[in-house]
Amino acid sequence: MIDILNSIKTDSISKINDIDSLHELDQLKSFLLGKKSPLMDVLKEIPKIPAQDRPIIGKQANQLKEDLTNCLNQKKQELINKERDHFLNNNQTDISLPTSGLPSGTYHPITTVTRLICSILNRYGYAIKQGPNIESDFNNFEALNIAPNHPARDMHDTFYLKNKRVLRTHTSPVQIRTMLMQEPPIKIIAPGKVYRCDADTSHSPVFHQIEGLFVDKHITFADLKGTLEAFLQELFGKNHAIRFRSSYFPFTEPSVEIDVSYTVNGKTSWLEIMGAGMVQRNVFRHVSYDPDSYTGFAFGLGIERIAMILYEIDNIRLFYENDHRFLSQF
Ligand code: PHE
């Protein structure tokens, strides 16, 4: 039996020495020490041998088991070191070098301009309201005194959905939502996305507006003009001229459009940036306000247009292309 143990030892050690990978070593371990291994066969035979021989053989067999286990562990460590050295020699990255740094993002110019406008108007006492992008025909058109045959309702301007729903064509429905929910005084602004079937260098099918509404007793056109002049002066500084043009919106009477002068590539022109006016009496009737008790003014401005002026950009599409070279300039 001693001979058998000795030959198991020589044989096992030579097998361990021949191994070259951790995977093979694992397999060999179960072959040498597992339940069906030659060593286990010897251990199983021990009860059958004469009693006086058992301690010696038992001791030898256990010693062999311990030796083989040590030998396998040592081989394992050798292979791990070898793999690590191989990896380090073939992937010569100098981990002590400083990194190039992670590029940090910036706000999109539309976000920056929206925040800027909201922060100015917040200071004038306007609270921020939001409404859904999918609107009812009532909120988007009817309550705003836009007649069923008004061109704004044309398929060419409006994305119609099922069940008399539309993608809102302006932020004005937030006026209606607010007035239906609360009594005057009301002083709100509503930033958000709006949608129209329209696309060229200064029109996009999705763009951004900010709506403003101030309703109380005795609000006059002078309040409208004073507020918007002060606001635009703060937004653009003294370098841009502003002009009010009389205009028409079904939901305001009288109405104006406001243009700002801007210069791109040495050429100065006017860009229309907002519509405004005194809230039309029919709008008040639709939200059950008494038009003889309350007056108010509303305005709606296009955020892209304002960003184009502030950053001297001549193509609206640049805002939506997500070109890193463009966006990283802000
Ligand atoms: N809703 C109008 C538009 O989208 C803008 C506007 C708002 C005009 C409020 C007057 C008053 O063109």
Q: Reduced to 3 states, what is the DSSP secondary structure of residue 288?
A: coil
**Ligand 1 pocket test target in 157, 158, 170 with most atoms within 8 Å of CB:** 170
**Best residue for ligand 1 mutational test, from 139, 172, 219 (most atoms within 8 Å of Cβ):** 172
Report which ligand 1 atom has the smallest distance to the Cα of 175.
9
Beta-carbon neighbour count of residue 16 at 10 Å? 18
User: Taking phi first (over 0 means left), then psi (-120 to 50 degrees means alpha), and beta for anything else, what does residue 279 get?
Assistant: beta
**According to the model, what pLDDT value does residue 245 have?**
97
Identify the residue with better confidence: 60 or 301.
301
pLDDT score at 276: 98
Pocket test for ligand 1, best of 153, 249, 257 (most atoms within 8 A of CB): 249
Q: Is 173 in the pocket of ligand 1 (CB under 6 A)?
A: no
Q: Assess contact for 166 and 266: CB atoms under 8 A.
A: no
280 lines ligand 1 (CB under 6 A): no
Indicate the pTM of the whole model. 0.70
pLDDT at residue 294, as a whole number: 98
Ligand 1 centroid distance, CA of 225 (Å)? 15
Q: Does the pLDDT at position 319 exceed 80?
A: yes
Q: Would you say 61 and 6 are in contact if contact means Cβ atoms under 8 Å apart?
A: no
pLDDT for the residue numbered 61: 85
Confidence (pLDDT) at 107:
94
Whether 158 lines ligand 1, by a CB cut-off of 6 Å, is: no
For 99-129, the pLDDT digits (tens) are 888 878 889 999 999 999 999 999 999 999 9
Per-residue confidence (pLDDT) for residue 156, from 0 to 100: 66
The C-alpha atoms of residue 307 and residue 298 are separated, in whole angstroms, by 21
Domain boundaries, the chain: 2-90, 109-327
CA 150 to chain CA mean position, Å = 37
Decide: 300 in ligand 1 pocket, CB within 6 A.
yes
Ligand 1 centre from 82 Cα, in Å?
74
Q: How far is CA 89 from CA 81, 84, 94, 97, 235, in A?
A: 12, 9, 11, 17, 61
Cis peptide before 148 (omega within 30 of 0): no
What pLDDT is stored for residue 93 in this prediction? 75
pLDDT at 97 over 90: no
Atom 2 of ligand 1, nearest CA residue: 300
Average pLDDT on 262-270 reads 82
Strands 242-249 and 252-264 come out as antiparallel
More confident: 217 or 42: 217
As a whole number of angstroms, the distance between CA 254 and CA 242 comes to 19
What's the gap in Å between 192 CA and the centre of ligand 1?
A: 13
Residue nearest to atom 10 of ligand 1 (CA): 276
CATH architecture of 109-327: 2-Layer Sandwich (3.30)
What residues contact 58, with CB distance under 8 A and at least 6 apart? Answer: 43, 46
Residue 210 Cα to ligand 1 midpoint, Å, equals 9
Q: From the centroid of its chain, how far is CA 90?
A: 39
Residue entry with tokens 């791990």: 80
Q: Is 172 in the pocket of ligand 1 (CB under 6 A)?
A: yes
Cα(63) to centroid(ligand 1), Å: 94
Does the pLDDT of residue 257 top 70, yes or no?
Answer: yes
Most confident of 45-49, 167-171, 268-272: 167-171
Range with top average pLDDT, 16-20, 163-167, 210-214, 240-244: 210-214
Average pLDDT over residues 248-274: 91
Tokens 């396998």 locate to 72
Which of the two residues, 50 and 228, has the higher pLDDT score? 228
Ligand 1 centre to CA of 283 (Å) is 13
Specify the pLDDT at position 50.
Answer: 86
Query: Average pLDDT over the chain, rounded to whole?
Result: 91
CA–centroid distance, 221 to ligand 1, in Å, is 16
**Phi, psi (degrees; rounded to nearest 5) at 233:** -65, -40
Cα(220) to ligand 1 centroid in Å equals 18
Q: How far apart are the CA of 181 and the centre of ligand 1, in A? A: 21
Find residue 189's DSSP bridge partners. 128, 212
- State the distance from the centre of ligand 1 to the C-alpha of 189, rounded, in angstroms: 12
- Do the strands 165-167 and 186-195 form a parallel or antiparallel pair, or are they unpaired? unpaired
Q: How confident is the model at residue 147 (pLDDT cuts 50, 70, 90)?
A: confident
**Residue of the CA atom closest to atom 5 of ligand 1:** 300
Structure tokens at 72: 């396998």
72 vs 41: CA distance, rounded Å: 20
